């Protein structure tokens, strides 16, 4: 435990590159395995005979990317998710603050929100069809509903957990309700809010794709389902990969924005389980130091993010 | 309370510029939360420009007294007045300084000090200038751009002091502001407080559990215990380190310690 080392933030020479190589190699191995299993039509209990090979998928991908529909689908899906997610962010933060700060709002909105919250957003499809004149609006509604609750809940918790002296300090400086809101509540709740936003963007993707599969007319989810119904399996995989990459990019964007806006959070000056600084020492790193995973941090937990997100900032 | 005229005479004699301080009065006040009154029957008159220290064991209601004076907590009974007008809420007139962690952690020290100025509508450039001047005065010119968690506890308290005084309050209410500091830093902060207060004319109510601190800083010292205000005593030669061995001060210190039951 005594050999915690300060992370070296400046370029550490080949190390980040080595880690990149490792990641790329892991991906390559997975792809190679896929190619072998599907190329040789392996049929042990799991059946790969119908499975498209990596080469099939790559060919299909190349065809799609140069075709007309792919980019339309992509922008459709992105527009839907961004509209729904941004709406959810604004509404979720507003409702969360309101419920946390006002007893009246809590009494009025609380029961309603608690009853609607357990309903999976995708189960709202019939409601969306009844309510909205067009499919498009229905999909955005479902996406928004999906992200709304994680944002609401984490905002509510974050606002309730604010240190009371901050508010007392601002009030004794002559700050009223709105100043307390602007200078204490919103900035102070931001770390928690971003926890909710990170969860929300993930759930949003699930719901936008599902909703597109049910009722879309363009969009990555719609296309993937279409390919499935016409037995175009490489096309299905192209859709899945597209969803994966888009989801990854958007959640990374949320994460980066969150880190940027909450840079004031005190962070530990060392990375738990970080690699040693200079040349791998012969002495093994104590298990306690390496065992601390850079695993999923609590939404608002500031410290482990340092480790979890290092690939975002350093590499 | 019977000595307020004496105190005023002394406050007038002290070479302070025209008092901008305010008179704070509690009359037959009961303080605390509705379900748990902490102190009852408080009669206290804090003269303009005076430094009144309040000592008492932890949990005796010192912070409650201060929050009531600040207007954060309405009195359960009796009256709280500022210059004869009832206090009905917090105001920039009465700044509160807390023990620790009251700086907004997402704002640099400078931005924290600028906050009360912004609330008063001071234009940006003037705000910047005044905040810099205050930070300079408390010896934090070099740390102005730092976030609170990047500086030491003593520096945070100095920044808090600067923030409280930047709003030009007429009363400064201090809730064990040096309670979390080590003895040496604490002595330094006491000197700084005296120096910085000089010239503001602000009335100060300073809560502490440290009797020596109370006797050094206060024109008068109020004793709080067992849910009541037990006594208010004049302090001989306040803010004079050499008065520590003054027989009158020694006697007072003994009295205070006895009545606090330590």
Could you read off the pLDDT of A48-106 as tens digits, one per residue?
Answer: 888 888 888 898 888 888 888 888 888 989 999 999 999 999 999 999 999 999 899 98
Structure tokens at A55: 């080469």
Could you read off the pLDDT of A242-266 as tens digits, one per residue?
Answer: 999 999 999 999 999 999 888 888 7
pLDDT given for residue A312 in this prediction: 37
pLDDT given for residue B15 in this prediction: 42
Could you read off the pLDDT of A163-185 as tens digits, one per residue?
Answer: 889 999 999 888 888 999 999 99
Residue A313 has pLDDT above 70, yes or no: no
Residue A285 has pLDDT above 60, yes or no: no
Lowest-pLDDT choice from A238-247, A257-266, B139-148, B228-237: B228-237
Average of per-residue pLDDT across B81-91: 86
Residue A311 has pLDDT above 70, yes or no: no
Residues of chain A contacting residue B174, judged by C-beta atoms under 8 Å apart = none
Residue A11 has pLDDT above 90, yes or no: no
Query: Residue A14's pLDDT band (boundaries 50, 70, 90)?
Result: low
Domain-located, residue B34: yes
pLDDT given for residue B6 in this prediction: 44
B85-86 β-sheet, strand order: B36-46, B24-33, B77-82, B85-86
Measure Cα distances from A167 to A93, A103, A205, A307 in Å: 19, 17, 37, 32
Of all residues in chain A, the percent with pLDDT exceeding 70 is 80
Selected for mutation to probe chain A from B106, B115, B179 (highest A CB count within 10 Å) is: B106
Domain-located, residue A95: yes
Cα dihedral: B117, B123, B128, B134 (round 10): -40
pLDDT given for residue B262 in this prediction: 54
B104 CB within 8 Å of a chain A CB: yes
Q: Indicate if ipTM > 0.95.
A: no
* Residues B67, A174: C-beta atoms closer than 8 Å: no
pLDDT given for residue B169 in this prediction: 87
Residue B8 has pLDDT above 60, yes or no: no
Radius of gyration of chain A (CA): 24
Domain-located, residue B132: no
* Residues B106, A187: C-beta atoms closer than 8 Å: yes
Residue A308 has pLDDT above 80, yes or no: no
Q: What is the mean pLDDT of chain B?
A: 83
Q: Cα(A63)–Cα(A223) distance, rounded to whole angstroms?
A: 14
Comparison of pLDDT for A312 and A168, the residue scoring more: A168
Measure Cα distances from B86 to A16, B83, B222 in Å: 65, 8, 22
CB contacts < 8 A (A, B): 67
* Residues A170, B115: C-beta atoms closer than 8 Å: yes
Assign residue A161 the CATH number of its domain. 1.10.3720.10
Lowest-pLDDT choice from A2-6, A284-288, B70-74, B106-110: A284-288
* Residues B119, A264: C-beta atoms closer than 8 Å: no
Query: Residue A268's pLDDT band (boundaries 50, 70, 90)?
Result: low
Average of per-residue pLDDT across B151-166: 89
Domain-located, residue B16: yes
Query: What is the residue range of A128's domain?
Result: 77-218+253-261
Residue A151 has pLDDT above 50, yes or no: yes
pLDDT given for residue B200 in this prediction: 81
pLDDT given for residue A269 in this prediction: 55
Residue B24, judged by CB atoms within 10 A of its CB (0-12, 13-18, 19+), counts as buried
* Residues B147, A264: C-beta atoms closer than 8 Å: yes
* Residues B116, A171: C-beta atoms closer than 8 Å: no
Are A48 and A38 spatial neighbours (Cβ–Cβ below 8 Å)? yes
List the single residue in A165, A175, A262 with the smallest CB-CB distance to B98: A165
B94-97 β-sheet, strand order: B94-97, B171-175, B203-208, B51-55, B220-225, B228-234
Total count of domains within chain A: 1
Measure Cα distances from B32 to B71, B86, B99, B199 in Å: 12, 17, 19, 33
Instruction: For chain A, give the secondary structure using H, E and C.
Output: CCCCCCCCCCCCCCHHHHHHHHHHHHHHHHHHHHHHHHHCCCECCCECCCCCCHHHHHHHHHHHHHCCHHHHHHHHHHHHHHHHHHHHHHHHHHHHHHHHHCHHHHHHHHHHHHHHCCCCHHHHHHHHHHHCCCHHHHHHHHHHHHHHHHHHHHHHHHHHCCCHHHHHHHHHCCCCHHHHHHHHHHHHHHHHHHHHHHHHHHHHHHHHHHHHHHHCCCCHHHHHHHHHHCCCHHHHHHHHHHHHHHHHHHHHHHHHHHHHHCCCCCCCCCCCCCCCCCCCCCCCCCHHHHHCCCCCCCCCCCHHHHHHCHHHHCC
Domain-located, residue B101: no
Average of per-residue pLDDT across B82-94: 86
pLDDT given for residue B193 in this prediction: 86
Total count of domains within chain B: 1
Domain-located, residue A176: yes
Residue A303 has pLDDT above 50, yes or no: no
Average of per-residue pLDDT across A229-252: 90
Are B102 and B241 spatial neighbours (Cβ–Cβ below 8 Å)? no
Residue A149, judged by CB atoms within 10 A of its CB (0-12, 13-18, 19+), counts as buried
Closest CA in chain A for residue B96:
A172
Domain-located, residue B159: no
DSSP annotation of B28? E
Query: What is the residue range of B48's domain?
Result: 4-93+169-260
pTM: 0.77
Assign residue B221 the CATH number of its domain. 3.40.50.300
């Amino acid at each position: 435990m005594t050999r915690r080392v300060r992370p070296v933030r400046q370029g550490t020479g080949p190390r980040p590159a080595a880690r990149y190589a490792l990641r790329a190699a892991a991906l390559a191995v997975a792809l190679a395995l896929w190619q072998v299993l599907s190329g040789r039509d392996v049929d042990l209990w799991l059946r790969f005979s119908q499975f498209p090979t990596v080469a099939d998928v790559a060919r299909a991908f190349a065809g799609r990317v140069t075709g007309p529909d792919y980019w339309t689908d992509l922008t459709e899906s992105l527009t839907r998710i961004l509209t729904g997610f941004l709406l959810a962010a604004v509404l979720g933060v507003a409702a969360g603050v309101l419920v946390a700060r006002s007893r009246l709002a809590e009494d009025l909105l609380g029961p309603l929100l608690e009853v609607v919250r357990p309903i999976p957003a995708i189960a709202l499809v019939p409601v969306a069809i009844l309510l909205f004149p067009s499919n498009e609006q229905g999909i955005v509604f479902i996406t928004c509903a999906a992200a709304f609750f994680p944002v609401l809940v984490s905002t509510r918790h974050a606002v309730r957990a604010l240190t009371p002296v901050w508010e007392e300090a601002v009030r004794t400086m002559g700050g009223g309700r709105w100043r307390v809101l602007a200078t204490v509540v919103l900035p102070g709740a931001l770390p928690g809010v971003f926890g909710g936003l990170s969860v929300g963007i993930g759930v949003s993707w699930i719901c936008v794709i599902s909703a597109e599969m049910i009722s879309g007319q363009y969009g990555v989810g719609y296309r993937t389902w279409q390919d499935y119904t016409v037995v175009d399996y490489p096309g299905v995989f192209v859709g899945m990969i597209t969803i994966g990459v888009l989801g990854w990019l958007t959640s990374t964007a949320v994460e980066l924005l969150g880190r940027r806006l909450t840079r004031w959070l005190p962070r530990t000056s060392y990375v738990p389980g970080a690699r040693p600084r200079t040349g791998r020492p012969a002495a093994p790193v104590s298990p306690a130091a390496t065992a601390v995973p850079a695993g999923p941090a609590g939404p608002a937990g500031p410290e482990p993010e340092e480790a979890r997100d290092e690939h975002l900032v350093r590499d | 309370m019977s000595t307020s005229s004496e105190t005023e005479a002394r406050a007038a004699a002290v070479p302070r510029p025209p008092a901008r301080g305010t008179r704070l009065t509690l009359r037959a006040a009961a303080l605390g939360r509705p379900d748990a009154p902490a102190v009852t029957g408080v009669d206290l008159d804090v003269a303009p420009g005076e430094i009144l220290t309040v000592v008492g064991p932890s949990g005796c209601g010192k912070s409650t007294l201060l929050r009531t004076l600040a207007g954060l907590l309405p009195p359960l009974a009796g009256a709280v007045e500022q210059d004869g007008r009832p206090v009905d809420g917090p105001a920039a007139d009465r700044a509160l300084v807390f023990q620790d962690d009251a700086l907004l952690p997402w704002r640099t020290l400078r931005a924290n000090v600028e906050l009360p100025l912004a609330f008063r509508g001071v234009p940006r450039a003037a705000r910047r200038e005044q905040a810099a001047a205050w930070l300079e005065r408390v010896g934090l010119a070099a740390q102005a751009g730092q976030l609170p968690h990047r500086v030491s506890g003593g520096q945070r308290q100095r920044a808090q002091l600067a923030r409280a005084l930047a709003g030009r309050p007429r009363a400064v209410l201090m809730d064990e502001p040096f309670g979390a500091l080590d003895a040496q830093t604490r002595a330094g902060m006491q000197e700084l407080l005296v120096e910085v207060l000089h010239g503001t004319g602000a009335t100060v109510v300073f809560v502490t559990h440290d009797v020596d601190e109370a006797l050094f800083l206060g024109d008068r010292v109020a004793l709080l215990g067992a849910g009541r205000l037990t006594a208010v005593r004049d302090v001989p030669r306040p803010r004079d380190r050499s008065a520590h061995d003054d027989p009158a001060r020694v006697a007072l210190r003994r009295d205070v310690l006895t009545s606090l039951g330590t």
